[in-house]
Chain A
Amino acid sequence: MAWLSRLRAIFGKEKLTREHEEELQFHLSMREQLNVEQGMAPGEARRDARLRFGNPSLWRERMSEIDLMILPQTFLLDLRYGARMLMRNIGFTIAALLALAIGIGVNTAAFTAYKAFFKRSLDARVSGRMVNLALQLPSDSSNHAGDPLAFFSIPDYEAYRDHVHSFSGLIAVSFPQNLTLTGAGGIVSRRSAATGSLVGRLGLLPSSKNAETASTFLVSENYFSVLGIGVLRGRTFATEDSSEEAASPSALISENYWQKRFGGDPTVLGKTIRLNGIAVTIVGITPHNFVGTTVEAPDFWLPLGLEPLIHPNDNWLRNRENLCCRMLARLAPGVDIDQARAEMTLLAGQLPARMWSASN
């Protein structure tokens, strides 16, 4: 337990130093007194006492060194002893380590997820003015009465977008999906890694038949302008006309994927790649780690208008029953959420007869 008193010595340093000083003074004056008794002149007696003691600042240094220097030594001993005891009960050690590791891991994951889903504000300029839209099922129609419904079809989205004036902008976002990526050229990082492997040494690169997929996020064309987010390079989608987009489809690449897949190659702008066989041209690069309304930066952002091309058998752009998308809106200046809710409810009631009516 000697290290305990050392710890105390370090933290109670001031008191200790004071006591040392007093002890030093006591010793010096006793020596001086003895010197005088032995016949020395008072001044010389004092000088002699100090001389015998040596340099007091050096002495102070030695005293505090004793507190400081010995501590790591004993700590090391204790540490070694601890490690030996742990090795002796190896089963217990492993169990304890596992319990700690799992506990810490689960905690970290839970808090990370919580932060990502709930505590993070949207990746948007003045994100406090952005609202998430959902309808509430009427209490009389189905057994899901009163449940909120946060998904909308594209035709409904267009109706709300064009007619609700409480919003300065309304966006629709689909779910992230993985599309096969072709025509993108060799992967920078994979090629260099392959040279070390057996395949690489035989002069073979991974064949392009290996399906390469890219995570893709379909968003309405006005996505970036409503969020108020610019691109790192290039431009965002042309917002006005979806049919024009479909004729000459454009895609945005995330900075993260641009770096990972293309090694930050600047010629990627204007490059034409194929996603699920559809040729799209990369027109812009979104900022590093920009996640928008999702929780993880996708590889590509595509305009919603491209959906019929990407999934030719499943045209949900015109299907009012296909609730594909979440809607988020930016409140117009001077409009509060209750006004917007009232206007939404009114319009929802005017839409062609549906299974539900609306609120918020």
Chain B
Amino acid sequence: MAKTKNDNLQGALALLVLKSLEQGPMHGWGITLHIQRISNEVLRVEEGSLYPALHRMEQDRWIVSEWGTSENNRRARFYRLTALGRKQLNAEQENWQKITSAVALVLNFGNA
């Protein structure tokens, strides 16, 4: 069952993390870099919020983690999307698009 009633900030971070993990397993540091790079340095994930969010998502079984070796040969914790997480990602993505297009409609009103 996908939850869609996450509060916006939390939901946005979760959405970004889930979307990043769609590419494959990543560690927390990798997620930070990934989001920053893909968003053209516009979005910066706050480190203090990222790990609690990951922890929460892991408890909700959207992601699972396992220890592996990082690119520079250090022990690192890798997160991987689960089927449940994939479902959640789709639901949140849809929800997000609905909201942004609705916001766009409001902002564009009167400009046309």
Contacts and interface: CB of A to CB of B under 8 A. Distances in A.
Contacts of B74: 26, 29
A59 B75 contact: no
Contacts of B75: 22, 26
Instruction: Please tell me the size bucket of the interface on A.
Output: 20 to 34
B51 A24 contact: yes
Interface stretch (B13-21, B54-62, B95-103): B54-62
Contacts of A27: 28-29, 32, 47, 51
B48 A26 contact: no
B29 A53 contact: no
Interface string A16-46: 0001101110110111000000000000000
Contacts of A52: 47
B29 A31 contact: yes
Contacts of B86: none
Contacts of B110: none
B64 to A, nearest CB: 10
A346 B48 CA distance: 93
Instruction: Please tell me the size bucket of the interface on B.
Output: 20 to 34
Interface in B54-81: 55-56, 58-61, 67, 70, 74-77
B27 A66 contact: no
A66 B61 contact: no
Contacts of B28: 23, 26-27
Nearest to B67: A19
B24 interface: no
B52 A53 contact: no
B32 to A, nearest CB: 8
Contact of A26 (B58, B61, B76): B76
A6 B28 CA distance: 21
A62 B70 contact: no
Contact of B55 (A26, A29, A30, A63): A63
Interface in B7-44: 27-29, 32
Given A19-B77, A23-B28, A27-B29, A54 B48 contact: yes
Nearest to A24: B51
A179 interface: no
A295 interface: no
